[in-house]
Amino acid sequence: MHCRLTVLALASVLNAGSASAQDPKPVYRCPGPPVLYTDALSAQEAKDKGCRTIEGAPITIMQAPPRARPPAAGSASAPRSGDTKVDPASQRARDTDARRILADELRAEEERLATMKAEFNNGEPERRGDERNFAKYQERVAEMRAAIQRKEADIGALRREMAKLPQ
């Protein structure tokens, strides 16, 4: 009994497979950049998107060229861990340069922040001639406040980067 069920199930699967081979899903060509060729749409979806059925037209499938594989670990062209190490004196010089660059940038940003805060005048900057409308003035004050907050965040990030560097 169990064997008959297995044979019947196998026969029904084979029949379904041969039926689908005889009655393949339609392939649609959908307009628009890029032109899309698909068989994953229902007939209604294809109609809604303005796709048309391709019947009898040969479809060419092109394979992508194989990707280049990275060299094996034991090959001569693979970098060895000893080749990538930096000499300590050179690394110290790089760290010193990085610290100097960050310190210069930090000093410049702090000066810009001081200028911005002076212009901001604790939330009451001087009104310009084109700011007769109070809403325009408030908008400029809000922009100044946001710029100061961004500058303070930038300064905090520079200080964190400097703290990461070895002394």
Q: How far is Cα 152 from Cα 145, in angstroms, rounded to an integer?
A: 11
The chain-wide mean pLDDT, for the chain, equals: 79
pLDDT at residue 74, as a whole number: 56
pTM of the model: 0.48
Residue-wise pLDDT tens digits, 21-56: 456 678 888 887 777 778 788 888 888 888 888 876
pLDDT at residue 147, as a whole number: 95
pLDDT at residue 5, as a whole number: 37
Q: How far is Cα 49 from Cα 26, in angstroms, rounded to an integer?
A: 15
pLDDT at residue 40, as a whole number: 82
Least confident of 42-51, 117-126, 141-150: 42-51
pLDDT at 153 over 70: yes
pLDDT at residue 145, as a whole number: 95
Query: Quick one: DSSP state of residue 52?
Result: E
The residues, ordered by sequence, that sit 6+ positions from 86 with a Cβ below 8 Å of its Cβ are 94
Q: How far is Cα 115 from Cα 138, in angstroms, rounded to an integer?
A: 20
